[in-house]
Structure formats: structure tokens, C-alpha cells
A = this chain, B = another copy of it.
């Protein structure tokens, strides 16, 4: 009696589709959308090339699903980051932490976000993803400040992180905090969460 030998590995692989999407996110983070190819994703997911086109209608489709998952994964992190915030000072600290990368999001993750923005600029089908993301982000901020201020804070975070990611110069944390604080001056916004 012979042992059953695994002929072709992983012929049964129920998580595969999901793993491919994760691999796509990784590849975008590392090489950018411009450098993202079916082959690279397949290699990253350790899956034959034909498997990608079996599960996805094409590279565009796969990228769209990757961006969507990334967005859906980032939003809870964003929300969690502000979870324990109790007062205005805590809110300012939280925003400052977010900008300075002390909040769990690594540069690669921000890069994916920017890739998404740029891709959405040219592919309107991605707008639903960016819109949903922005809405959720602003919703978090609106728990602490009025909508107009929330929009300003959101834009400030975006722009600051981009500059910080790009610049070789270092930013002083205290300076960032001062700027953020000023954005909130004389705002009482909605009641802070109890």
C-alpha cells in the first residue's frame, strides 16, 4: 500500500482568490500601479498565471478589488486610531500621530492610497472606492468637529503625509501639532464623545 503523494501542489485551495487580492495590494505597494503586472501578482501569490484570469476579468478588475479591500481595511484602522479619544487635546494628538506615522500605517500603505487616488483620477469606476473611503474618514473626524473643519483636517492629514513621505527633511512634531491645533481654534463642533 502506497502513501498518497501530493502530485500537483495545492490543487485544492479555497482561499486562493482572496490571497491573490492580497498579493495585488502588496505588489502595488512595492512597485506602484505602473509596475503591477499579472505575472508579479501571480508570483507573489504563488499561483500560476492562468489562475488570475480565471478568478478576475482582467488586471483592471483585480486592481479595483485590491483597492477596495485596501480601503475597507484601512478605514477601521483609522476609526480605531480615534477610538480612545476623549477631548480636544486628545484629538489633536491623534491627528498629529496619524500624520507622523505613529498610528500603525506604514509608508507602503499610504503609497497604495496615493496610487488609488491617481488611478481614480483616470478611471471613474474607482471613484466609488475613493468616495466611500473619504466619507468614512470624514465621518470619524465629524465625531469631534463640525463637517467643514473635518474636511479641512482630512485634507491637512493627506497633504502633510504626502509631504512627509516625500521630503528628506524631517518635520518637527510639535510644529505639526501647533498647526493642527490652530485648525480647531474657536471651534466647539459637536459635543465631544463622552
A145-176 CB mask vs B (1 if < 8 Å, else 0) is 00011011011111110110111100110010
Judge if A118 is at the interface, Cβ distance under 8 Å.
yes
Q: How many copies does the complex hold?
A: 4
Which bucket holds chain A's interface residue count?
A: 35 or more
Task: Select which of B31, B120, B163, B172 is within 8 A of A154 by beta carbon.
Answer: B163
Main secondary structure on A side of the interface with B: helix
Distance between A51 CB and nearest chain B CB, rounded to angstroms: 15
Judge if A105 is at the interface, Cβ distance under 8 Å.
no
Judge if A117 is at the interface, Cβ distance under 8 Å.
yes
Task: Select which of B33, B122, B159 is within 8 A of A155 by beta carbon.
Answer: B159
A33 proximity list for chain B (CB < 8 A): 34
Task: Select which of B31, B157, B171, B186 is within 8 A of A185 by beta carbon.
Answer: B186
Distance between A67 CB and nearest chain B CB, rounded to angstroms: 13
Contact assessment for B111 and A121 in the assembled complex, using a CB-CB cutoff below 8 Å: yes
How many angstroms from the CA of A178 to the CA of B150 in the assembled complex? Answer: 12
Q: Which residues of A contact B (CB under 8 A)?
A: 31-35, 111, 114-115, 117-118, 120-122, 127, 130-131, 134, 148-149, 151-152, 154-160, 162-163, 165-168, 171-172, 175, 178-179, 182-183, 185-187
Show 20 A/B contacts (Cβ-Cβ < 8 Å), sorted by A: A32-B122, A33-B34, A35-B122, A114-B114, A114-B121, A118-B118, A121-B165, A121-B166, A134-B166, A148-B172, A148-B178, A151-B163, A151-B175, A151-B179, A154-B163, A155-B160, A155-B163, A156-B159, A157-B159, A158-B159
